[in-house]
Structure 1
Amino acid sequence: MTDPLASLAHLSPKRHALCSRLHAQRLAGRLMDQLGRPMAVIHTGNPLQPFRVGNCDGGEGRVVLEVRT
């Protein structure tokens, strides 16, 4: 697996950490606990925001992980 931010090495290490899949997984878990509904980690294909958290419908990109109770 290649790192989507590898070509953007000039960006800060903090941005790299905040845009990681691991951070998105943690956020999805916290949102699921607060909202009481399943959340998904979505791969966007955008190197500036490679992962985001959203609904499990996958309408925004490819769902790589679903967080459910």
Structure 2
Amino acid sequence: MIKVVRGNPTPEELAAALAVVQARAAATAAAGTGAPRPRAGWSDPARIARGALPRPGTRTWARTYWPG
């Protein structure tokens, strides 16, 4: 379902926008890539905290940087 939130498009503008959305959906369906691609290693959030995190204690404030 498509909903116009702002503005007052003409029927021609609305038809053009709908044609683009339908063409994009048809191209995606034709490609057959329904499964998500695996995440690249550099964008994996788990890589940021691979090492042990600093434990609270003396001078903890000095170790509040991203490990790595």
Higher alpha-carbon Rg: 2
TM-score bracket, shorter-length normalisation: under 0.3
Per the normalisation by structure 2, the TM-score is 0.28
Per the normalisation by structure 1, the TM-score is 0.27
Query: Which structure features the higher share of helix residues?
Result: 2
Query: Which structure features the higher share of strand residues?
Result: 1
Q: Which has the higher contact order (CA 8 A, sep 6+)?
A: 1
